[in-house]
Amino acid sequence: MKESPPAPSDLLEKVTNLAKRRGFIFPSAEIYGGFRSAYDYGPLGVNVLRNVRDAWWRSMVQERSDIVGIEAAILGPPAVWAASGHLDTFTDPLVDCLRCRERWREDKIDGVCPNCGSTNFTASRAFNLMFKTQAGPVEGEGATAYLRPETAQGIFTNFANVLTTMRRKPPFGIAQIGKSFRNEITPQNYVFRTREFEQMEMEYFVPPGDADQWYRYWLETRYQWYLDYGIPDAWLRRHEHAPEDLSHYSRGTTDIEFLFPWGFDELEGVANRGDYDLTQHATHSGVALDYFDPTTHERYTPYVIEPAVGVTRATMAFLLAAYHEDEVAGEVRTVLRLDPRLAPYQVAVLPLSKKAELETVSSELLERLRPHFVCDYDLTQSIGRRYRRQDEIGTPFCVTVDFESENDRAVTVRDRDTTVQERVALDELVAYLAAKVGTRTR
Ligand code: GAP
């Protein structure tokens, strides 16, 4: 098999086209001409999103005894965002081009208008990224609500609830996955930066003296997670923020950057938020948000270490890293080498013909496989064409039912990456595939 990875310049176009053509990602409200920077996830896209969320939740919550999950509300009162600092400081610098009137984020354009090339702009002003709305039928100040711009604050406002109901003591973490909203000035680069997106965030509460050690621990743990799910080391790097670039709450932030087609850019942020958030919410709400250690008799406000990543941004990185073009039997094929745990289907069942006896075995097979794997079933066109279709959407295993299957109670399993085929007994198939997919069978 010969490798010919596409040049980074057309990788984005190729992945975008594939994602649209094969039902992963559609422009939102497309029949009305689209809605800038919003995307809808199709039948294959939702499977990948769900797998990415599950993979994160599995490693951050299910497989650990020190982290629990919550789901907080998306709509919040102004008091939360006044305390968090978002009403005052969650801004981007906005400039208008004096020639073409386009608006830009000043820190992203290097002084030149990307639309018309002009270098004349208005003075920069702070633009708040929060989406403001009204809650209830009465308009006015008392009805103002905000869509959350990060999931983190719902964790801080529930700190005391979780601490007491779950009998926790630092170090412990609270994880959350959910939608966030930011009125980005220049949403761009496909699903990389959108106004509506989904985050996976975990706030890890630690004794202040242990914060540095946990900061390093989470940076390495999260970096390893991407390697475990198939992103090559060469496509990842760490970027530590200079003190002058830190967010208002941060004592230290390192981004895990991914090699996007336009260069290395932020995939995930790992921050040491110190005691900023708990102190702010305690001051603004009047409710104590600290921890009394019964062994040392010390009362302290824990520091927070936060790994935070976008589900949609991570999905984009997994798709880009998985996209390959190689040569099989003299023909170029497109193949998504997604980790089997992230692929939209883990198994495709492909009867060699539409004959009734093959359909009977195929139905029995699907019944056995579906409790364990997400399966596709494809009857149409030649087997070669069907393999190519499954390769293109990243299905790691194709199971072919042939005329012998009914007699020898066996099927042929083809591996997406090596294209090697193996005969496997029907009774052994679930265990065989489970070992390869790397998930537990029920
Ligand atoms: N609670 C900290 C926080 O929200 P952030 O760096 O602003 O930090 C964390 O966001 C992650 O969320 C980013 O690393 C990125 O993966 C994702 N993210 C942020 N803004 C996004 C946007 N507009 N579109 C898609 N993903 C976004």
- Give me ligand 1 centre to Cα 151, in Å: 10
Domain edge (last residue) among 319, 335, 357: 319
Burial (CB < 10 A; 0-12, 13-18, 19+), residue 362, is buried
Domain edge (last residue) among 304, 319, 334: 319
Is 431 inside any structural domain? yes
Q: Same domain for 180 and 306?
A: yes
Residue whose structure tokens are 């305390």? 83
Mean pLDDT (whole number) for 214-242: 97
CA 390 to chain centroid, in Å, comes to 23
Can you give the three-state secondary structure of the chain, one letter per residue? CEECCCCHHHHHHHHHHHHHHCCCEEECCHHHCCCCCCEEECHHHHHHHHHHHHHHHHHHHHCCCCEEECCCCCEECHHHHHHHCHHHHCEEEEEEECCCCCEEEHHHCCCCCCCCCCCCECCCEEEECCEEEECCCCCCHHHEEEECCCCHHHHHCCHHHHHHHCCCCCCEEEEEEEEEECCCCCCECCCCECCEEEEEEEEEEECHHHHHHHHHHHHHHHHHHHHHCCCCHHHEEEEECCHHHCCCCCCEEEEEEEEECCEEEEEEEEEEEECHHHHHHHHHHCCCCCEEECCCCEEECCEEEEEEEEHHHHHHHHHHHHEEEEEECCEEEEEECCCCCCCCCCEEEEECCCCHHHHHHHHHHHHHHCCCCCEEECCCCCHHHHHHHHHHHCCCEEEEECCCHHHHCEEEEEECCCCCEEEEEHHHHHHHHHHHHCCCCC
Is 108 inside any structural domain? no
Whole-prediction pTM value? Answer: 0.94
Q: In the predicted model, is pLDDT for residue 440 greater than 50?
A: no
pLDDT at position 2, please? Answer: 46
Q: Same domain for 182 and 218?
A: yes
CA-nearest residue, atom 4 of ligand 1: 150
Mean pLDDT (whole number) for 47-63: 98
Average pLDDT value for the chain:
94
Q: Same domain for 199 and 274?
A: yes
101-156 confidence digits (pLDDT tens): 999 999 889 899 999 999 999 999 999 999 999 998 887 778 999 999 999 999 99
CATH of the domain at 57: 3.30.930.10
Task: Quote the CA–CA distance of 84 and 355 in Å, as a whole number.
Answer: 64
**Backbone dihedral angles phi then psi of residue 141, each to the nearest 5 degrees:** -55, -45
Is 130 inside any structural domain? no
Atom of ligand 1 nearest to the CA of 193: 24
Q: Same domain for 173 and 266?
A: yes
- Give me ligand 1 centre to Cα 351, in Å: 44
Instruction: Return the best residue to mutate from 52, 130, 180, 256 for the ligand 1 pocket (most ligand atoms within 8 A of CB).
Output: 180
Instruction: Return the best residue to mutate from 313, 315, 316 for the ligand 1 pocket (most ligand atoms within 8 A of CB).
Output: 313
Q: Same domain for 427 and 312?
A: no
- Count of structural domains within the chain: 2
Is 252 inside any structural domain? yes
Domain of residue 397: give its range.
345-439
Mean pLDDT (whole number) for 263-272: 97
**Cβ density class 216-234: b for 16+ within 10 Å, e for less:** ebbbeebbebbeebebeee
Atom of ligand 1 nearest to the CA of 149: 4
Q: Same domain for 384 and 254?
A: no
pLDDT at position 8, please? Answer: 58
Q: Same domain for 275 and 364?
A: no
- Give me ligand 1 centre to Cα 150, in Å: 8
Atom of ligand 1 nearest to the CA of 268: 14
Q: In the predicted model, is pLDDT for residue 273 greater than 70?
A: yes
* Angle value at C-alpha 278, between 276 and 283, nearest 5 degrees: 95
Residue 293: CB partners within 8 Å, gap ≥ 6?
169, 299, 300
298-314 confidence digits (pLDDT tens): 999 999 999 999 999 99
Q: In the predicted model, is pLDDT for residue 7 greater than 70?
A: no
Which two structure tokens, joined as six digits, stand for 89?
Answer: 């400081």
Instruction: Return the best residue to mutate from 91, 150, 316 for the ligand 1 pocket (most ligand atoms within 8 A of CB).
Output: 150
Atom of ligand 1 nearest to the CA of 314: 16
Taking alpha carbons only, the member of 53, 81, 69 closest to residue 147 is 81
CA-nearest residue, atom 19 of ligand 1: 310
Q: Same domain for 169 and 309?
A: yes
**Cβ density class 202-214: b for 16+ within 10 Å, e for less:** bbbbbbeeebeeb
List 174's β-bridge partners, or say none. 68, 203
Is 326 inside any structural domain? no
Is 90 inside any structural domain? no
Q: In the predicted model, is pLDDT for residue 213 greater than 80?
A: yes
CATH of the domain at 431: 3.40.50.800
pLDDT-wise least confident of 68-77, 278-287, 324-333, 387-396: 324-333
Q: Same domain for 367 and 292?
A: no
Is 274 inside any structural domain? yes
Is 106 inside any structural domain? no
Q: Same domain for 311 and 355?
A: no
Q: Same domain for 273 and 182?
A: yes
Q: What percent of the chain has pLDDT over 70?
A: 97
* pLDDT category of residue 245 using cuts at 50, 70 and 90: confident
- Pocket of ligand 1 from Cβ distances under 6 Å: 150, 152, 182, 184, 193-194, 197, 199, 201, 266-269, 306, 308-310, 312-313
* pLDDT category of residue 441 using cuts at 50, 70 and 90: very low
Q: Same domain for 311 and 388?
A: no
CA-nearest residue, atom 14 of ligand 1: 268
Phi-psi region of 55 (alpha: psi -120 to 50; beta: other; left: phi over 0): alpha
Q: In the predicted model, is pLDDT for residue 5 greater than 70?
A: no
Residue 22: CB partners within 8 Å, gap ≥ 6?
44, 392, 393
pLDDT at position 108, please? Answer: 86
- Give me ligand 1 centre to Cα 64, in Å: 24
CA-nearest residue, atom 11 of ligand 1: 309
CA-nearest residue, atom 18 of ligand 1: 310
pLDDT at position 439, please? Answer: 55
